[in-house]
Amino acid sequence: MSRSPAVNALSSEASKPAPSTSVAGSRLAALNAWVAEVAALTAPAAVHWCDGSDAENAALVAQMQADGTLLPLNPATNPGSWLHRSDPDDVARVEHLTFVCTSREEDAGPNNHWMAPAAAHAKMDALFKGCMRGRTMYVIPYCMGPIDSPLSRCGVEITDSPYVVANMRLMTRMGAPALARIEREGLERAARGEGGDTFVKGLHSIGELDPGRRFIMHFPEELAIKSYGSGYGGNALLGKKCHALRIASYQARHEGWMAEHMLIVGIENPSGETHYVAAAFPSACGKTNLAMLIPPEGYQREGWKVWTVGDDICWMRPGADGRLYAINPEAGYFGVAPGTSAKSNPNALATIDANTIFTNVGLTADNQPWWEGLDNGERPATDWRGNPYDPDKGPAAHPNARFTVSAKQCPSWSPMAEDPQGVPISAIVFGGRRASLVPLVFQARDWTHGVLVGAAMGSETTAAATGAVGVMRRDPMAMKPFCGYNFADYFSHWLSFDGAGAALPKVFHVNWFRKGDDGKFLWPGFGDNLRVLEWMIGRVKGEAGAVETPIGHLPIPTDLNLEGVELSDEARAKLFGFERAGWQAEFASIGEYLDGYGPRMPQALKDEQSRIAVLLAD
Ligand SMILES: Nc1nc2c(ncn2[C@@H]2O[C@H](COP(=O)(O)OP(=O)(O)OP(=O)(O)O)[C@@H](O)[C@H]2O)c(=O)[nH]1
Ligand SMILES: O=C([O-])CC(=O)C(=O)O
Ligand SMILES: [Mn+2]
């Protein structure tokens, strides 16, 4: 590789990255040209091409410690770990400031905010003009997915935030190997005489962190992202939601694959047979927890094991045998801290015991991270803003406080997560937070019904996005904030997988969040969710029982292994019951929702909705 050492090397003082204004760090002319164009617009003091090395990370971390971006945690309890306190107005995704900028508004659909590409570029370029003056501009080549997988896709994020660089290093395969793949793919494409780029171009600046000057813009037709004014994960780590979901979902539709907001988990039974399950739950609705679950004691004794492939994003495509094969495009977890405890998610707790960046958690007097629900006997001394903790002034940790950590640190991390071919998916699970009506689990009759079950998903909003919490909204396939095109076309794309030779996963719906009259959860959840997964795998194999209802196949309590689970009569009735009148109203609302997309909505989905509405009326 003919890279100038001055560009790639780090300063020997290890306190700041090498100041270099060279913008030619790659063998790929198109990449150098884009970096030069961005540097001319943003006017940074230096340009640094990230190689992903330990030395580079150490230098950035030292610099962030020096300027207060990172605070060291107690090295005895949390070695190699840091606390970052964000701006208090910059703690979550901002859906009202997130846009999909396709040439035609109808291609973005009613599910997205839209702006015409030219207007959006003009707006963003005005914000970016000169915004990196006095700062270093980092160029981050990254690969989403195993570096040698044909299912993986690459991108380059340009940012002025060293916090973003440190997080991207944990969340993606970042640096020299990614750049090598980008160069190879780019040169091959050029040799074939094709235009366009093979990598996604993401431009990010924290700007002034002013919510009035904050926008997250996507240009799927150009494979480009421009994000300004936020340092928060989902807005700033562009490989994650912006690339791996919004841009990738658009690409996937045109290339015949799927980019989904799903965990991937392997369930190994006592005979050593592993089934992989992909599950879509909205933000902060249990993906990380299900992906890392620890089997209940009885299951452990029998030899059940759980393997974590991914906790947030899943890319799938049909294999030669007609099954869907999935990879996790990410290399780390950006997980919700509050509620994580030795009881709810011991694997997550073990994962984050070292080399972790915590964002917006509280602190104990001796600098250990602390959050509500941690339940480790410690007490908070300082809240997430850095003020003395006062329970009258709110929680110690922000409800959307997060940890960033390499996936490999997870005790249940699956070696199959590195398999370039991905894992075959036996079951797809949809689920949401529903205090009423929706039972613990049911199975869709077939693929088309399964697509309707996903399209009809509803869930109560959470702290993962700014705005009211606990409001029920439709969140199809948990993709409402993340689908980079019109949902009507997205549902058509889903339906299109059911062709000749397809051996598709069975589709299920779960609700871990059903509440009783006392307002408490009726289902113990967490590790006990394996009981539900076991039933699903039994259904996949044609072994487990169920009863047919208009909404699908429902288990009766004896179809599940509930040994050791205490359920009241109310819990049994609500978790396993079918409430006809409530479902009639629900289906009327689903029908109205689908109609909101107009004639683009696939007829097959509307027919499925009407068919079930008729069954419900009987
Ligand atoms: N009652 C109950 N709560 C759960 C269960 N699983 C997860 N939770 C809670 O749901 C919240 C968020 O769960 P996560 O697993 O972090 O959510 P996620 O879907 O990975 O979220 P994102 O990273 O935002 O996409 C936490 O407060 C958990 O304690 C469950 O089975 N039952
Ligand atoms: O994107 C984020 O910031 C975190 C996340 O997984 C979500 O909100 O679903
Ligand atoms: Mn998510």
> Which ligand 1 atom sits nearest the alpha carbon of residue 526?
31
CB of residue 281 inside a 6 A radius of ligand 2: no
Query: What pTM did the predictor assign?
Result: 0.96
CB of residue 311 inside a 6 A radius of ligand 1: yes
- Domains along the sequence of the chain with CATH: 5-69+89-255 (3.40.449.10), 260-300+422-617 (3.90.228.20)
Distances (CA, A) of 18 to 37, 55, 65: 21, 12, 17
Residue to mutate (ligand 2; options 171, 237, 283, 289; most atoms within 8 A of CB): 283
Supply the pLDDT for residue 196.
84
CB of residue 334 inside a 6 A radius of ligand 2: yes
340 C-alpha to ligand 1 centroid (Å): 9
56 C-alpha to ligand 2 centroid (Å): 27
Ligand nearest to the CA of 311: 1
Supply the pLDDT for residue 20.
58
CB of residue 312 inside a 6 A radius of ligand 1: yes
List, in sequence order, every residue forming a beta bridge with 404; answer none if it has no partner. Answer: 334, 357
Angle between helices 29-42 and 176-191 (to 10 degrees): 120
Q: What is the DSSP letter of 216?
A: E
433 C-alpha to ligand 1 centroid (Å): 10
The DSSP code sequence of 63-127 is HHHHTTSSEE--TTTSTT-EEEPPPTT-SSB-GGGEEE--SSHHHH-TTSEE--HHHHHHHHHHH
> Which ligand 2 atom sits nearest the alpha carbon of residue 312?
6
558 C-alpha to ligand 1 centroid (Å): 27
Write out the residues surrounding ion ligand 3, Cβ under 5 A.
Answer: 283, 312
CA gap 307, 335 in Å, rounded: 17
Closest Cα to atom 2 of ligand 1: 525
Whether 299 has a binding-site annotation, put simply, is no
CA gap 280, 260 in Å, rounded: 7
Q: DSSP E strands: which ranges in 160-244?
A: 173-174, 200-205, 215-219, 224-228
CB of residue 512 inside a 6 A radius of ligand 1: yes
CB of residue 464 inside a 6 A radius of ligand 2: yes
312 C-alpha to ligand 3 centroid (Å): 5
- What is the token pair recorded at 20? 């270099």
Identify whether the C-beta of residue 171 lies closer than 8 Å to the C-beta of residue 332: yes
Whether 58 has a binding-site annotation, put simply, is no
248 C-alpha to ligand 3 centroid (Å): 15
CB of residue 82 inside a 6 A radius of ligand 2: no
Whether 286 has a binding-site annotation, put simply, is yes
Closest Cα to atom 5 of ligand 2: 283
Whether 241 has a binding-site annotation, put simply, is yes
Give 131-144 as a 3 state SS string.
CCCCCEEEEEEEEE
CB of residue 135 inside a 6 A radius of ligand 2: no
Identify whether the C-beta of residue 347 lies closer than 8 Å to the C-beta of residue 291: no
> Which ligand 1 atom sits nearest the alpha carbon of residue 524?
32
Residue 483 known to be catalytic: no
- What is the token pair recorded at 59? 């230098």
146 C-alpha to ligand 2 centroid (Å): 21
CB of residue 283 inside a 6 A radius of ligand 2: yes
Q: Match 């991390």 to its residue by tokens.
A: 413
CA gap 401, 338 in Å, rounded: 7
Residue 393, classed as helix, strand or coil, is helix
Q: What is the DSSP letter of 246?
A: I
The DSSP code sequence of 13-65 is TSSSPPP------SS-HHHHHHHHHHHHHH--SEEEE----HHHHHHHHHHHH
Residue to mutate (ligand 2; options 240, 260, 262; most atoms within 8 A of CB): 240
Q: Annotated catalytic residue: which of 285, 314, 410, 483?
A: 285
The DSSP code sequence of 161-184 is -HHHHHHHHHHSEESHHHHHHHHH
The helix (run of H) or strand (run of E) holding residue 404 is strand 402-406
Supply the pLDDT for residue 14.
41
List, for the chain, all residue ranges whose pLDDT scores fall below the cut of 50: 1-19
